[in-house]
């Protein structure tokens, strides 16, 4: 085995550079993963804007990692074996000791590592990770299809599962980007009546192909009025950071309807408390999920073939991938692949 590996590290805000590093040895609670693919996520744009500290190596971004365990520490449980294909998402391993962990809220661990931000991520040929971050990957899914499910897929899947809507209820998906196009597929297969709300008509055909029953162009139509005409919606899944449009949609919630926030933004929501109180409407945020819940999302994705639309680039072209993502030129999701000989 080559004793060094290649990685794309941050050398300046928004700039990556190829480097070589010694292959690390896993600690007792860690595994060494030989990476096969890594998804490119919008959060990577924020992570790569953080310049390295003086005298410290640049951070390696990436948190939608798929690869094979090549070495494991002495305290790693037997459910994880060398040669096994595994994934790591935005959560880099819970501590098992803080209050959220002791209450079973592992995805809200106070000491959770974040690949690409607080520890090195997947724009590389190898990575070491805590075993508590590991996700088993179904053999039926390719690494390219599985990688984005570890973040975008599991985020939308669990937001819908915990959103309170039941089969036959009306669900509106705000946004048809990397998160939204997954939400539409999951919502359709969960038995909801799905309405997509997006800006312009460019994605209307794709929305219907992915399973939407209705499409509203927020630029030319009054989205809230359209939803209210049919009795309102039971759940609004906000995958786009569009506070103005979302604020205008709140009156279209049915009594006891719920808004679940996934897309982040810096513009405050405008909410009239009386409108929420009088009809017992609610607003909640939803984060990514535990490894076990992510495995459920992967299994569901295989069963119903709810697969992300992806583009691929070799990881050496990570700067190009990030640039295209920043300019909005990626068609839903981008995945970097590693062709290794070592």
| pLDDT, tens digit (0-9, with 9 covering 90-100), for 88-124 | 999 999 999 999 999 999 989 999 999 999 999 999 9
Q: 273 Cβ partners below 8 Å, 6+ apart?
A: none
The predicted pLDDT at position 342 comes to 42
What backbone phi and psi angles, to 5 degrees, belong to 30?
-120, 165
What backbone phi and psi angles, to 5 degrees, belong to 116?
90, -10
Q: 240-288 pLDDT, tens per residue?
A: 878 888 888 999 999 999 999 987 777 888 888 888 898 899 999 888 8
Residue 105: helix, strand or coil by DSSP? coil
The predicted pLDDT at position 2 comes to 67
The predicted pLDDT at position 310 comes to 80
Residue (of 291, 296, 298, 299) closest to 132 by Cα position: 291
Q: 151 Cβ partners below 8 Å, 6+ apart?
A: 39, 41, 43, 63, 64, 89, 90, 288
Instruction: Tell me how crowded residue 89 is: count the other CB atoms within 10 A of its CB.
Output: 28
Enumerate domains of the chain plus CATH numbers. 4-151+289-337 (3.90.180.10), 163-285 (3.40.50.720)
The predicted pLDDT at position 1 comes to 53
The residue written with tokens 């679940």 in the block is 260
- Read off the tokens for 229: 């005409």
Please give the Cα distance from 313 to 316 (Å, whole number): 8
Per-residue pLDDT of the chain (342 residues; tens, 9 = 90+): 569 999 999 999 999 999 999 999 999 999 999 999 999 998 899 999 988 887 788 999 999 999 999 999 999 999 999 999 999 999 999 999 999 999 999 989 999 999 999 999 999 999 999 999 999 999 999 999 999 999 989 999 999 999 999 999 999 999 998 899 999 999 999 999 999 999 999 999 999 999 999 999 999 999 999 999 888 999 999 998 788 888 889 999 999 999 999 877 778 888 888 888 988 999 998 888 889 999 999 999 999 988 777 899 999 999 999 999 998 888 889 999 997 554
Burial of 308 (0-12, 13-18, 19+ CB in 10 A): buried
């Amino acid at each position: 085995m080559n004793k060094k590996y290649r990685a794309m590290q941050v050398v300046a805000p928004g700039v990556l550079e190829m480097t070589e590093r010694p292959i690390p040895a896993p600690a007792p609670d860690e595994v060494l993963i030989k990476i096969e693919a890594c998804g490119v996520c919008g959060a990577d744009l924020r992570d790569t804007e953080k310049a390295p500290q003086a005298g410290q190596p640049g951070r390696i971004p990436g948190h939608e990692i798929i690869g094979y365990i090549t070495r494991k520490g002495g305290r790693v449980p037997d459910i994880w074996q060398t040669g096994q294909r595994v994934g790591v998402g935005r959560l880099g391993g819970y501590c098992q000791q803080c209050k959220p962990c002791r209450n079973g809220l592992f995805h809200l661990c106070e000491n959770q590592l974040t690949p690409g931000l607080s520890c090195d991520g997947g724009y590389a040929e190898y990575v070491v990770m805590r075993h508590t971050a590991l996700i088993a990957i179904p053999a039926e899914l390719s690494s390219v299809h599985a990688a984005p499910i570890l973040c975008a897929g599991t985020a939308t899947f669990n937001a819908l599962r915990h959103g309170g809507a039941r089969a036959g209820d009306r669900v509106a998906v705000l946004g048809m980007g990397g998160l939204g196009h997954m939400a539409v597929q999951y919502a359709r297969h969960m038995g909801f009546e799905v309405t997509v709300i997006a800006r312009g008509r460019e994605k209307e055909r794709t929305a219907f192909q992915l399973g939407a029953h209705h499409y509203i162009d927020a630029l030319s139509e009054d989205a809230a009025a359209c939803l209210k005409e049919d009795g309102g919606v039971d759940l609004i899944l906000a995958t786009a950071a569009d506070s103005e449009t979302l604020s205008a949609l709140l009156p279209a919630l049915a009594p006891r309807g719920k808004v679940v926030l996934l897309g982040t933004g810096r513009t405050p929501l405008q909410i009239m408390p009386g409108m929420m109180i009088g009809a017992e409407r609610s607003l909640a945020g939803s984060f990514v999920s535990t490894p076990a819940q992510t495995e459920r999302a992967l299994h569901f994705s295989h069963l119903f073939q709810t697969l992300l639309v992806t583009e691929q680039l070799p990881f050496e072209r990570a700067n190009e991938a990030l640039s295209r993502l920043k300019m909005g030129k990626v068609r839903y999701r981008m995945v970097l692949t590693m062709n290794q000989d070592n």
